[in-house]
A = this chain, B = another copy of it.
Amino acid sequence: MPETSHSRARGNLLGQLPKRVDVYEVGPRDGLQNELRTLPTRDKARLINALVEAGEKRIEVTSFVSPKWIPQLADAEELLRLVGRREGVVFSALVPNLKGLERAKEAGLEEAAVFISASEAHSKKNINKSIAEAMAGAREVTTAALQAGMRVRGYLSTVWGCPYEGHVPVERVVDICRHLVDAGIYQLSLGDTIGVGTPRQTEEILDALLKHIPVEKLALHLHDTRGTALANSLVGLSAGVTTFDASIGGLGGCPYAPGAAGNLATEDAVFMFHGMGVETGINLDRLVEAGEIAQELIGRKLAGKFLQAALGEREKKASRRAQT
């Protein structure tokens, strides 16, 4: 049969998707550090336990940053002690410098994350370093962390756009990524820090990167500020990306990027993946329970749509039972 104008749509659009993906949970760190309310350590541990109960296997729990910078995360050591070790689960933490790494080693951290902005202006405002300085610092931390037996992950922020510079050239992103891979980083998490990305741009960014970096090394860290996180995830999934950062209930944003709000909600991502036959190993009902705990602890409704739909449905059922 000859190709028709519709034949591309029929089955070729999404193509073969990965059978399974990992969700990398960033709620306890990226999420909570952006909340006004600082939680007691035992409450953070309670949330993390709920995420583990839901089947999450990769959870960034805190940051070994100076408490002067982010007082919300000053209890990193205590929190790691409290959550302990869980079979098959890797707890990671952000490690901004060698001082932080010493603390992380003492605390027995298994996986460290380093952080670089792809925008010169954002890097200056965020960590008061040029990109070159940040790259040197990340290499230093990575080398030391690898020597200490840790696995190291790299965050690359403002890849889709910067609140100060606007457009960020993809060539710069490629350069930084190659540098980080050379340094020994096992995975690069590409961040749409202010949530301005759209699917064609996501395709272009992945297109440029996949010429130099194997897809297994890439993760997407998408913000849902303008509602496009799942559409962008779909492009990543189609390109073979198998790790997606997400935050329970959509907790958190970026404190240094004006207007930034809303990590992709873990439940929304898991709902979409499961609906497409892409396994995550996560139990969606249990995830809703964890989202409910997150709401209770921070004292406000979260933006995650699946969470609100699930809680709304439960309320309706309860009110129908009460009426009969």
Interface residues of A (CB under 8 A from B): 5-6, 8-15, 17, 195-201, 203, 206-207, 210, 215, 224-228, 230-231, 233-235, 238-240, 258-259, 261-262, 265, 268, 271-272, 275-277, 303-306, 308-309, 312-313, 316
Contact = CB atoms under 8 A, between A and B. Distances in A.
Indicate the member of A5, A231, A261 with the most B CB atoms within 10 Å. Answer: A231
A36 to B, nearest CB: 15
B268 A313 contact: no
A233 B234 CA distance: 11
A303 B239 CA distance: 30
Contacts of A262: 305
17 contacts: A9-B203, A9-B206, A9-B207, A9-B210, A10-B207, A10-B210, A11-B203, A13-B203, A13-B235, A13-B238, A198-B272, A198-B276, A199-B234, A225-B309, A226-B272, A227-B272, A231-B272
Identical chains in the assembly? 2
Complex A-B, nearest 10 residue pairs according to Cβ-Cβ distance, in ascending order? A198-B275, A9-B239, A227-B305, A227-B268, A259-B313, A200-B276, A230-B231, A226-B306, A231-B231, A231-B234
A316 B233 CA distance: 29
B240 A9 contact: yes
Contacts of A215: 6, 9
A235 B265 CA distance: 21
Contacts of A12: 12
Given A225-B305, A226-B309, A233 B235 contact: no
A306 to B, nearest CB: 5
Given A228-B272, A230-B231, A8 B15 contact: yes
A224 B268 CA distance: 11
B261 A309 contact: yes
Given A9-B239, A13-B13, 11 more contacts: A9-B203, A14-B203, A14-B235, A195-B309, A196-B275, A199-B234, A199-B272, A200-B277, A227-B304, A261-B309, A262-B305
